Every structure is written in structure tokens, then in C-alpha cells.
Structure 1
Amino acid sequence: MRSTFSGFNAAVSGLFAAQRAMDVLGHNIANIDTEGYTRQRSDQVNATPTYDGTSGWLGTGVRMKYIKQIRDELIDIRYRAKLSTKEYWSETSASLRNLENIFAEPSDKGITSIIDNFFNAIDAVIKHPENNTTRSNFITTAITMTNYFNSLSEKLETAVKDLDKDANAMVTDLNSMFHQVATLNQEIFISESDGSMANDLRDRRNNLVDKISELVDVKVQKQVLKDSTGKPQETWNLIVDGHPVVMHNDVFEIKNAGKVTTDLNNVAQNYRTTTSSKDANGNALKEAKDKDGNLIKDAKGNQLYYEPTTDALGLQVTRFEFYDGQKVDMNNVGGRLGAALQQRDSVGDPSMNHKVKGVPFYIRATNEYMKAFAEEANRIHTSGIDANGEQGEPLFESFGQTMADGKPAPINAKNVRVNSHIVNSTAKLAIGLVKGKDGKADQSDQENFHRFFAMKESQLSVELNIVNPNALDAKGKSRMVTIGKGIPEDIIKSVVTSVLGVDAKEAKDTLKNATIEELELNMTRLSVSGVSENEELTNMLKFQHAYNASARMITTVDEMLDVIINRMGRVGL
């Protein structure tokens, strides 16, 4: 036999269900502009029915199962992957734009204008070799060119240092967010032990994972653990480049493993190699190693040794490792951190499959260019005769850097300068090729500077050996990069235009496309998880009608019960 109050209880459950649904709706509307908020919904199911021996199973109303979030995990995965890609290209594009500003091409202050001015000054000397003013102007122009390359080298090194600072800041932020996710994992695990959903805590965790995705390509791995009662519950693990960084409430930070010099460990340099462990004088040579510390061998399997022939960068940068001691692979971590590390470290080694070349490539390129340019200029100048009838001295020299044996370091963009003897005396310019009858230079002879001017149209070869011409990577690929062969202006244009310009355009175009795709995915995500004012107002009316109907039902049942309680059996009274 049914309970007298069963209809009343069913109506009350409907009233409470409508109230709770309205509470959730109010929470949604209140957070309509809250970043990262996920729309919530009160899920209702029919209450457990009772069995009436005469009527069968009778419904007892409604009960709220739980308050759930409306999310599409597949969209989350796609969105975070695209967000990481967008941020990678954003960081890369910003770095390449900075490089374009440093090279300032094309402009009257750019490298090609500097080189043109140098050769124009040579031409002026050829036309007026006896004029001391044209000689002085040439020396001044040469000094301007060397100062430009010195400044260019300094700016490029500053770019590397800035990228290193950015990478350090990103790693600090990442480790902080890893700890926050681990803390939220534990809070959610405890809060949901009763079967409810800690939705607002889940929002905070999802927002953190979104922010992590900007810095690295992170994967969410779900794991089922058992609580203190043995009940299974879900938690999150975070994976970066195959390495766990968060395992429930345990954190495995990306470690700062200290500073390393960007010489052979992080940024390989150009060096002559030999299979002998000693040089011609019996001095010990160094073992050639790649950026990961592996010994380099030639195609025949012979260990290679080297004596540096160009400058090491000598820049201090940070080495990062996962908790297990493995280096962060700049190819795979993605996001802004991956881009910053690649721009900081990449010399354009073909075997590394980097999307674009990093700042060290341009440091190496300008160093090798200046070295080749200075060597050719010095070869020509030393073959001539100066105003005193003496053999010409090298036009360019290095300063401020020495080799291990105390000798001046080879010329590069950072250390090049005009020979101090020539700066102090215009008579030291070797304009001619032959001596006059008095033993001094023939003032009518400008043949050597004609050869000098011809250098403008002569073939100059500049190669950047990432390791050495014979070294192969683990897959047998060559690791040598040829910057260019041609006239001096064309070679540097090939670096600034063909390499930097193409990379910068690719980064800009890819960023534009990635931004559009990320926005589209975000709109799709918001259409599922975001709060719609129109939808909530529609639901408000629906829940209001449900509430009013349940209240009316309670009133009706109350009147029926009043008849039973207060009126039955009172006939005739």
C-alpha cells in the first residue's frame, strides 16, 4: 500500500531539484566572464522507486546525481597541441624579427651598405692615390666596417644571453606550475572521494595545463588510483617529451644543471680535425665531441681530434635536464621554451632537423664571413708596397682574444680591427705593386688597390663546418653547412635574405596560420564549455516553471491531505 505522503515527497524532491539546478545556473551566470570557467550542469535521475503490491513499482520523485562540467576532452587535446605550436612560432618569429632588426637589411646602415662604402673608398684612393684625405677616408671607412662587425657580434651575443634568460624564466614558471598541478591533484582526489565532482578545482587545473601548453608541448595522462577506502579514483599525470613531470602529487622538476660554455658542448665550432692525437709539434690535441658529449669519428670510424682554428663563442648559457639527468631536447619540448632553446643553441646542423636556424648560426656565419673577407684582404694588401717602399702589412688584425699558446686568435666579427700601424699612418697603405727608382712607391702605381677593388667582384667562399667536413651524425648524414660562394656582397645577402629572410617569412606565415587555427579551436571549445547567456536564460525559465509546478503540486497534495486529516469522519458534526 502506498504511503500517504509519497506524492508530497515526490513533489518536494522536484522542488529541491529545481532549486539546485537554479543554484548551478546562477553560478554559471556569475562566472560568464571568468577566464577558463567551464559551464556546469546539474545531472538529475529518477529516485529509487518503491514496490506496491497492488500497483507495482511507484516512482518516488527525482534526485540530483552530481554537478558535472561540460567539456570535450578531445577538443582540449587538440587545442593544447595547437596552442603549443602557436607559441613555438610566436617565440621563433619574435627572435627572427630581432635578428632582422640587428642586421638592418635593407637600409643605409645595413651590412651591404657598409661593404659598399668600403669598396667605394678603395675606388676613391685609386683615383687620387696621392691625396692623403682619400687615404684617411679609406682607413676611416675600414674602421667603420670593423666597428660594425664588432657591434653586430655584440648584439648577436646579447640575443643569445637574452634567450637564455627567457629560458630560465620559463623553466622557473613551469616548475612552479608543476607543483600547483600536483597540489590540485591531491585536493581533487580528496574532494571527490565521496563521488562528487570538484569542478572549480578542475577548472584551476585545466587552466594551469593550458598555461603549461604555452611553454611546452604537454600531454595529460590519466591514471586510476585507490583512495584510503580502496575506492578507485582518477588523477592526472603530466608528460613532457616522454618524461613525467607530474605523477599525481609528485613533481619531477626540469633542473637547472648549471652553466656551460657554448663552445663544443652546446654550440659546435668550426675546427680542423685529424685522426692523430698530437699536432706536428707533439702537442696534445682535444677529442672532438658533439653537442651531447659523444665522441666524433670520421666515416672510417677513426676518432677525430682538433685544435681550434676559430673563436669559441665563450658565452655562458644554462643547461637544463629532466629529473633523470637527460637534457631537454629542443626539438621535442615544443612551445615557447622549445623555440627559445632552439634559437639560443641551433647552429643549423642538418642532422638536427631544426625548423629554422638559431642565433648561433648567424654568429658563426658573420664570424666566418669576416674571417674569409679579412684573409683575402690581407693577402692582397701584404702583396703590395706602401709609400715607404716596404711590403704591406695585413690590413686587418684581431684584438682582445688569444689562443692557448698566447698567439692572437684568428680574425672574426667580434675581434676584427684595422691594423693599428695603418691607422696611425696613411703611408702604410700598400697601394702599388712596384717600387720607384728611389726605392719608394711609385705614386702613379695603384695596381694593388685595383686588385683590392676587384675583390668586390671576386669569388669568396665561406663555409660553416658545424662539426667538420667528414663527420657524420648517428644516421650517417653530413653535418657541414655551406654558407655561400660568390662575391662578398652576395654571400652576406644569402645569409640575411636567403636564410634569415626566408626563415622569418616562414615563421610569420606559420604563426599566422597557427593563430587562426588556435582561435577556431578555442571558439569550438567555448561553444561546448563556455557559458551562453541565451542558453542560461532559457534554462532559467525552464527551471522556474519546474519549481512553480512542484510548488503547485505540493499545495495540491497539501489540500488533499487536509481533507483526509481535518475533514474525514466529521460528517454531521
Structure 2
Amino acid sequence: RQTASLTSAAPDNIGSFSFGRGVDLNSVTRTVDPMLNQAQLTNSSQLAYWKEVNSGLVNIENIFGSLQSTGLSSALDNFFQSWQQLANNPQDGAQRVNVRANASMVVTNLSNMNQQMLNTQATTNTRIDQVIGSANSILDNIASLTIQINRQEIGSQGVSGMANDLRDQRDQAVRDLSAIIPVQEVSTRDGSFMLQTVNGDLLSQDGVARHLARGAAVAGSFAEVTIAESGQPLSGALTSGTIGGLIDLRDNKIGTYIQQLNSIAANLIFSTNQIHASGTGLTGVTTLSAEQASNTILPLNDPTQTAPFASKIQSGSFQIHVYDAAGTATPAGGTAINITAGVTNMNDIASSLNAVTGITATIDGTGHLNISAAAGSTFRLSDDSSNMLAAYEINTFFHGANAASLSVSSTIQNNASAMNAGRVDLATSASNIGDNTAATAILALQNLQLSVDGTPSFSLHERTASLSTQYGTDVSISAQQLNYRTAESDSLTSQRQAIAGVNVDEELIQMIKFQRAYESSAKIITTTNQMLDSLLGLIR
């Protein structure tokens, strides 16, 4: 709304008489409320923030739908049920095939969910670049409008000096920018226009715009939003606005879900492998290979080792049992391979194994340990208290470290009979094909409190339920915030319209007032003419 300021024009003085000259249009001013404008800027940022978060969460709803009866929860249940069936009949090869098939379904579900989230995360990150481009265009427009306003107003006088329409356009541009990043107008002593983020980063002043950009990406994370000129991170960008919403969705929402998926995978992988590595299948094995030791002379649990669970190795030992062609173990009870955490390296393991009669251990050029039995002989492993076998994936069920790398070991994929359902007798080295102790132990993992990755101890079922609950809570909160901010926006818009909007009724009243004033003036003139005519008639 614009209001004309009218003042009485200087009268014409003729002799002792003063003749009025009506009014002058002194100025045309905008009706604005600075506090209300800032409230709208804040609301615009918050509304855009929650729109992005809510929209992004709704878009990945199909991923979390797969947690239910046909997805991850069901796949895990079926996986453990198949171990129950194998425990009931450990010598049945068909049950081993069933376990392998259900394990593959768990792998597929975790892998697909993880990949879909990674894709959504990457798409969200790309959209941030697009929004930065829009913000820079708006900043350029604000700078251009400021220059035009200054040219029209500075040094001009009277009505011609007002740039109300340009100021309205700049206000709208600032509101558009506030939907992208949280901003505030700052009052200066000379009355010039200054725009900052809510945390004080200068965005525009004296017709100069400071663009946004993306900084250098850090390994394992995404590039920050920065001020292009200085390269400094944009402060306050995470609190609200479209960019803040996208970053929150990318890092705090989807990023957290990916971490939870990886936690489920890590606890499943290592806990299953701990048991499986010390178990035995229907027959002994002739060869086994280990995961790569990135450095064979450094300790097995050195932080630089690339084996995903190398840090879980502790001082202890495992047993190796060697059998001749007749199935006789020599020596009975096997041979202990001792490990001292922080000391023992892969070369030491190879040396210890080579000292066992009937066993040859070599390390290839890539750091993989290969264990072989002599011709006509076989061997089994048992009783690993060091976690070395599980950490370096020797005789294990799963391969990988997280949802992205998880798979069923190639050995079991190629031969289901290599699946370990039983354990070797530690005193005699005997192995009973009807033994189900390993299968029963893996079955117990379903409800066992696990914490392989340093997270609080929860069962796999609880972890899956927690992921689903976390997503549902996030959707609910974002929907509530979106509804609240939308209602707040409607209220602020109504208040702004009441103050600054054009009210047709008020304008009509003003027109009627001017009309009545004109009619009154016309009546005075008409009456005066009639009186003069009457006087002149008397003279005649």
C-alpha cells in the first residue's frame, strides 16, 4: 500500500487578499512494518526448511515399507528360522541350501535399502548445488535493485525521488532469498541497505552481492556451503531455509538411517562369523583363505590394517585339527595357534601354521593368508578366543563390513555343505555330523544383545524396529512443524495485508470523501454565482 502525503500549497497573495491554490503532493510513502517483515523472513526460512525435510522423508517412504512383512524384518526372521531348521536336522544338505537362500535375501534387502538411501542422499546433495545457483541469481537481483533505488532516490527531490516500486521488488527478492537461507536486513547509520545471514555473514551491501559456493569435499563427507569470496563456511545455513532442510535431510536424517543399516549389518556379520569360524561342516576342508592383511609385519589388530574387524582381535588362540585320509586326528585335540594382541602379525600366523604337521600356510603378494592341508589330509578349526578368524574372514559365513559390502562368503555360495552347523570336540578332535551346537548358537543371535560396532547393545530385531520407529518419528515431527509453519505463514500474511495491503473498502471511502468535498466546493461556487447574479440584477 502506498499513501500520498498532501500539504497545502502556498496561496497567491493579491493585495490584502489571499487566494488558496489547493494542495501539493508532497510524497508517496510505502506502508511497511519492519518487525513484521523480519518475522515473515524468519517464517519463510522455517517453512522452506520443513517443506524440504518432510517432502524428502515422504519420498523415501517406500524404502521403509520394505522393513515390514515382506522386507528386512521378515528376511531376518526367515534367516534365523532356517538355522533352527538346520539345527533340527544338521546333516540335511537341503537345509543348508535353505539357510544360504535366506541369507541371500537378508543381503539383498540390506543392500537395496542402503543403495536407495545413498542414491537419495546423492540426489539431495546435487539439489543443494541447484539451490545455490538460485540464491546467487536472487543476490544479483537484489544488488541490481539496490543500485537502481540509489540512483533514483539519492540526490533527487520530491515525488520523483521515491522508488517505492523498486523497494517492493527488493523486499520480495529478500523474501525469496529467505526461503533458501536465513537472512536479516541490517540498519546502517547512513540508511544504506545491508543484508546478512542470521549469524552475521554479509551477503549484500551497496549494490554488491557475495555469492555462495561449495567448498572442497572432505573424505567421507559432503562439501560445505561457503561464501565464494572467502571460502568460509556459511554460518547458520543449517538452521533453516531450503539449503538447511536439504542438508538436514542428507546428513541427519538419511545419513543416520544409513548408519543404522550399517550397524545392523556389522552386528549380523561379525557375530555370525565369530560362531561360524569356530564351527565345522559335514566334512573337513583342504584349503582356506583369509581376508587381506594390508601389512603383514604389523600387528593383526593395528589401526592401519584394512580388514574391517581387525580392531576386534584380542589376545587368545584358536585350534587347528588335522586329519589323515582315514579321518584320524593327529594330534588328538589339535594344535593351538596363539595370538597376542598388538604383537602377533600375519607372518607369525603363517609360521605357527607351518609348524603344524600336514599344514602349509603361505601369504600371497596381496597379503592374503592361504592355508592348505597335505595331500590326502583335511583340517578343521575350532575354539577361537582371539576373534582372529572372524576378523580376517577365515572359515566365515559372511563377507563384508556393512550394508554396502555385505555378501554370503564365496565358499558357501559355491558349496552349501561348507556351512558350519557343528563344532569339533576339543579333547578328541572328533566331529559328529549330527552336532548342531554352532547352528544353535547362531540361532540365539536373533534375540541376543549385540554391540560389535560400539553402539548401545540391542538385538538385531530391536535395531530393525528402532530404525523403523526413528523414521516414523522424523516424519511425524516434520509434518507437525510443516503444519505449524504454514499456519504461522498464513497469519503473518494476513497481518501484512491488514497493514500494507490495498483495502478496497478504505479506498472507496476515500473516493467518496473526495467526491463529497468536490460537491461541497461546487455548491459554494454555485451559491456564490447565484448571489452575485442577484446583486447585479438589483443594480440594473
TM above 0.5, yes or no, is yes
Within 5 Å, which residues of 2 pair with 1:440-455? Answer: 442-455=432-445
Equivalent residues in 2 for 1:104-183, closer than 5 Å: 104=65, 107-183=68-144
The residue number in structure 2 matching 1:199 is: 164
| SS of residue in 1 equivalent to 2:451 | strand
- Written as runs of structure 1 = structure 2, the 5 A alignment for 1:305-384 is 317=223, 319-329=225-235, 334-345=240-251, 357-384=252-279
Instruction: Judge conservation of contact 1:392–1:428 (CA < 8 Å) in 2.
Output: no
CA contact (8 A) 2:266 2:401 kept: yes
- Alpha-carbon deviations, 1:549-570, whole Å to 9, x = none? 455566667x489979xx9899
Structure 1: state its 5+ residue gaps: 1-38, 226-233, 268-315, 346-356, 465-481
SS state of the match for residue 41, structure 1?
A: strand
In structure 2, C-alpha distance between the alignment counterparts of 1:364 and 1:246, rounded to whole Å: 39
1:449 Cα deviation from its structure 2 partner: 0.5
SS at match of 1:460: coil
**CA separation of 1:327 and 1:509: change in aligned 2, threshold 3 A:** same
Letter in 1 for 2:193: W
Q: 2:356 matched to which residue of 1?
A: none
Tell me how far apart the structure 2 counterparts of residues 337 and 392 of structure 1 sit (CA, whole Å).
55
Question: For 1:331 and 1:249, how far apart are their aligned partners in 2?
Answer: 23
| Distance in 2 (alpha carbons) for counterparts of 1:393 and 1:493 | 37
Does residue 48 of structure 1 match 2:10?
yes
**Pairs within 5 Å for 1:20-419:** 39-49=1-11, 60-104=21-65, 107-192=68-153, 193-196=156-159, 197-223=162-188, 234-240=191-197, 241-258=199-216, 260-263=217-220, 267=221, 317=223, 319-329=225-235, 334-345=240-251, 357-390=252-285, 403=306, 411-419=401-409
CA deviations on 1:21-78 (whole Å, 9 max, x unpaired) are xxxxxxxxxxxxxxxxxx22222222235678867x8754222222222222211111
Aligned to 1:488: 460
After superposition, what is the alpha-carbon deviation per residue over 1:340-385, rounded to whole angstroms, capped at 9, x for unaligned? 123333xxxxxxxxxxx33222222322331222011011111111
Q: Deviations over 1:479-526 (max 9, x none)?
A: xxx4x31211112322331x3333332222222222212211111111
Offset of 1:83 from its aligned partner? 1.8
SS of residue paired to 1:220: strand
Partners in 1 of 2:15 and 2:120 — Cα distance? 84
Separation (CA, whole Å) in 2 of partners of 1:493 and 1:139: 24
Q: How does 1:476-515 map to 2 (within 5 A)?
A: 482=455, 484-497=456-469, 499-515=470-486
Deviations 1:445-483 (A, max 9, x none): 22210111011121101556xxxxxxxxxxxxxxxxx4x
- Do the aligned residues in 1 keep the contact of 2:67 with 2:464 (CA within 8 Å)? no
Counterpart contact for 1:461–1:486, Cα < 8 Å: yes
1:34 aligned partner: none
Q: What RMSD in Å do the two structures reach over aligned CA positions?
A: 3.6
* 1:424-461 CA distance string (max 9 Å, x none): 1111111112379x999533222210111011121101
Taking a change above 3 Å as real, the CA distance of residues 121 and 532 of structure 1, as seen in their structure-2 partners, is: farther
| Deviation for aligned residue 1:182 | 0.9
TM-score for the superposition, normalised by structure 2: 0.71
Of 245-254 and 541-550, the range deviating more from structure 2? 541-550
Q: Distance in 1 between matches of 2:402 and 2:277?
A: 19
Displacement of 1:114: 2.2
Shift of 1:214: 0.9
The answer for the alignment partner of 1:299 in structure 2 is: none
The answer to whether the Cα contact below 8 Å between 2:4 and 2:28 also exists between their aligned partners in 1 is: yes
Per the alignment, do residues 331 and 426 of structure 1 end up closer, same or farther by CA in structure 2, a change over 3 Å counting?
same
Find the aligned partners of 2:173 and 2:411 in 1 and give their Cα distance: 63
Q: 1:52, 1:385 → 2: CA distance?
A: 123
Task: Classify 1:187/1:180 alpha carbon distance in 2 versus 1 (closer, same or farther; 3 Å).
Answer: same
Match of 1:18 in 2: none
1:387 shift after superposition: 1.3
Rounded Cα–Cα distance in structure 1 between residues aligned with 2:289 and 2:409:
7
* Residues 280, 421 of structure 2: 8 Å contact kept: yes
> Is the contact made by 2:238 and 2:248 (CA closer than 8 Å) also made in structure 1?
no
Q: Is the 8 A contact 1:385 1:391 kept in 2?
A: no
| Partner Cα separation in structure 1 for residue 46 and residue 476 of structure 2 | 16
Name the amino acid aligned to 1:421: T
Sequence identity of aligned pairs in percent?
A: 25
Indicate if the aligned counterparts of 1:379 and 1:394 stay in contact, CA closer than 8 A.
no
Matched, 1:459 2:449: yes
Q: Residue 358 of structure 1 aligns to a residue in which SS?
A: helix
Contact 2:269 2:400 in 1 (8 A): no
Deviations 1:191-250 (A, max 9, x none): 23334322222221111111111111110124465xxxxxxxx44221113111111211
CA pair 394-367 structure 1, distance change in 2 beyond 3 A: farther
Question: In structure 1, what is the Cα distance between the partners aligned to 2:55 and 2:128?
Answer: 14
- Equivalent AA in structure 1 for residue 3 of structure 2: R
Q: Secondary structure at the match of 2:214?
A: strand
Change (3 A) 1:152 1:164: same
The aligned length equals 435
Q: 1:553 to 1:191 in 2, by over 3 A?
A: farther
Report if aligned partners of 1:485, 1:491 keep a CA contact under 8 Å in 2.
no
- AA aligned to 1:140 is A
Q: Is contact 1:378-1:394 (8 Å) kept?
A: no
Once residues 93 and 69 of structure 1 are traced to their aligned partners in structure 2, the CA distance between those partners, rounded to angstroms, is 37
Whether the 8 Å contact between 2:224 and 2:233 is mirrored in structure 1 is no
- Inter-partner Cα distance in structure 2 for 1:214 and 1:508: 18
CA distance in 1, matches of 2:96, 2:289: 16
- In structure 1, C-alpha distance between the alignment counterparts of 2:367 and 2:164, rounded to whole Å: 68
Give distance in 2, aligned partners of 1:51 and 1:338.
Answer: 67
